[in-house]
Chain A
């Protein structure tokens, strides 16, 4: 029963992470319809500068995200296996207690 529960949590977590990842990474390279206010930006941002910035931003932003989520996934999996081990150990303790 426990095994089924853990597999379910793992699948849910993977789907959740995939959705977050894909949305954010997609947003970072999205060509959308941002409306620039004409006089709010009085300096020339430069076409080439904006385009390279979006590309570099997607790359370094993506790397930062991977860094953040790598830690979270690692922590999640560590905790998951720790729980499993603890569950197993407590079951074994229970069984040995009953046999005594």
Chain B
């Protein structure tokens, strides 16, 4: 077992059907002997092929490499790699909604081939080429007429409850998924949701009555093994959940999408010049991956994406990320992954032993980071010293394109308007000095018709 633990990934230990492990930097999944029948049915029935053809399931190949736990092994498979692992508490509303609908599509297709999902965790979904895809090849079990959906509770907790809260109460409640790793407790969701949600049958039944039922039967000796549910009822549950998810909508209060984030203080010429400089820096570095920190609606992420570079587009504002995601879907952009991240409190490593879900830093470093119109927010609005900003960015990037905006700029003036200026070190000179501790400044360019400067920096060995 020692050999297995050394390679086994800490996110994969709950399901006895198999586990993920890493060998020479490549991720493999071991299929255990106990899952043999289900795996064979998945492959032989044509379900796997059908799901892969519909871009619903991650494709895999069976490989003949040494298993870390050969006594348990039936097969070892090599799934296609996911460029960037993201988590439900980092997704915007429409990403979580699309992930929920993908899970239900997979479940429907599975039923057509005589199988059913044994779990419906939101962590079974990742974003690949801009769209959600199911990644857990071992989640399928043979469906037997009469059985209820074992993953129903999990679906409601991981998808329906957070979506309903985001839609009806507050978009920021998605962050509860980071605290409750197995989805939102339904009693919590039920008491947080407004009373009017009881007037909608889907939310009344799947959340409110479901929560009551959980509480009522929590300490009652009921033989659930004898509960039967016809195929019609099973399909009815799937239809009802799908309809409930589809009806949930979210749009930032009173804001027209078209006008969202036009709040800039520079001219169209300055804006075009800034884009040209960033594009030039990208062409010179030719990074394999880009992280756009504080990406807003992703305008500069598109510069990287248009060059075929897989780009993760982070912003703290769920509305900006939502718009970015919907734009990417509409444009068919497959290189950008928009995510909600608060850089002053980026996703920590959570779960069992603090190892199940990776922190943001563990998922880096990126080849190149864009930090445009970001430093003044961190330094002035959040009191983060320039030295700490430089240190953090050097942890997550090899190349850095960063914008410095002086205090004389109207946007910085606006931040200082409501507070005392306790930032005597916020100067270009100090900025260059602090960043030079971690980076070599390869180039800099002043943006026309503005007081802003863009720097291209290369991380130096410490």
Contacts and interface: CB of A to CB of B under 8 A. Distances in A.
A51 B227 contact: yes
Given A34-B146, A49-B213, A56 B227 contact: no
Given A34-B226, A48-B215, A43 B232 contact: no
Chain B at the A interface: SS class: helix
Interface string A58-97: 1111111100000000000000000000000000000000
A30 to B, nearest CB: 5
A36 B144 CA distance: 10
Nearest to A35: B225
How big is chain B's contact interface, by range?
35 or more
Chain A at the B interface: SS class: helix
Contacts of A31: 226-228
Contacts of B217: 47-48, 51
Contacts of B236: 56-57, 59-64
A96 to B, nearest CB: 51
Interface string B230-253: 101111110110000000000000
Nearest to B182: A43
A46 to B, nearest CB: 4
How big is chain A's contact interface, by range?
35 or more
Contact of B228 (A32, A40, A56): A32
A56 to B, nearest CB: 5
Residue in A27, A44, A53, A58 with the greatest tally of chain B CB atoms within 10 Å: A53
Given A51-B213, A52-B209, A60-B240, A46 B233 contact: no
A88 to B, nearest CB: 39
A38 to B, nearest CB: 10
B216 interface: yes
Contacts of A48: 210, 212-218
Given A41-B118, A42-B16, A53-B229, 8 more contacts: A36-B147, A42-B17, A48-B210, A48-B212, A48-B217, A59-B236, A61-B236, A63-B236
A-B pairs with lowest CB-CB distance, top 9:
A57-B233, A61-B236, A61-B233, A48-B214, A60-B236, A49-B153, A48-B213, A52-B213, A48-B217
